[in-house]
């Protein structure tokens, strides 16, 4: 028997529908063994979407229209070129409660071992592309260099998602601390002024 995910699927074996006209002689289901990285990512996503996001939504977080762009940190440079850490299952959705601070659950980043699914990196992102931030925020936020040039600002923590209540409490605590730092540095007012001018 395979490894069973939270939704009752055998997560070692991935099936996908082959649409008509895709040049495949065999219609229906085609399967392959999932890589260890894909299994871990799917398990993290199951916990995040099933247990953590509903709690965050109850506390006022909403899906944002802005999606996290692909960065150079999301890939590894090898002899054959840039190879992504992310998979076909990666979601780029971000969540927001107060402008300009977004949350992104980086389910593909991190170590690959049997219980690695218990830990997920949470990124707090400022989607202000290629701009400067006040000096007092540098160190708290660092650059996230984008694949297509430029950068945005991020703060990243690792959260143990095996206890969703503790994970949500930690995520919200850090969010509030960062938002307060942004307000004290005057960055929230600058972003609000920019949005009013649009």
What are the structural domain ranges in the chain?
A: 1-34, 35-197
Which residues pair with residue 75 across a beta bridge? 84
Biggest alpha carbon–alpha carbon distance for the chain: 61
pLDDT per residue as tens digits for the range 177-189: 999 999 999 888 7
pLDDT per residue as tens digits for the range 96-122: 999 899 999 999 988 787 788 999 999
Can you tell me the distance from the alpha carbon of 64 to that of 103, in angstroms, rounded to the nearest whole number? 9
DSSP, collapsed to helix, strand or coil, labels residue 192 as: helix
Q: What is the pTM of this model?
A: 0.80
Q: In what order do the strands lie in the sheet with 62-67?
A: 62-67, 93-98, 101-106, 119-126, 151-160, 142-145
């Amino acid at each position: 028997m395979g490894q069973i995910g939270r939704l009752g699927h055998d997560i070692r074996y991935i099936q996908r529908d082959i649409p008509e006209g895709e040049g495949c002689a065999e219609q229906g289901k085609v399967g392959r063994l999932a890589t260890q990285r894909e299994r871990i990512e799917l398990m993290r996503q199951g916990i995040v979407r099933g247990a953590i996001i509903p709690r965050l939504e109850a506390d006022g977080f909403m899906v944002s229209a802005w999606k996290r762009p692909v960065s150079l940190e999301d890939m590894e440079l090898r002899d054959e070129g840039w190879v992504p850490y992310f998979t076909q299952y990666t979601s780029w959705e971000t969540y927001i409660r107060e402008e300009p601070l977004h949350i992104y659950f980086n389910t593909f980043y991190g170590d690959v071992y049997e219980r690695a699914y218990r830990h997920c990196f949470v990124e707090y992102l400022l989607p202000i592309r290629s701009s400067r931030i006040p000096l007092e925020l540098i160190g708290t936020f660092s650059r996230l260099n984008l694949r297509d040039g430029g950068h945005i600002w991020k703060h990243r923590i690792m959260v143990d998602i095996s206890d969703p209540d503790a994970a949500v409490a930690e995520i919200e605590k850090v969010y509030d601390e960062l938002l307060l730092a942004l307000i004290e540095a005057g960055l929230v007012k600058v972003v609000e002024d920019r949005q009013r001018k649009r």
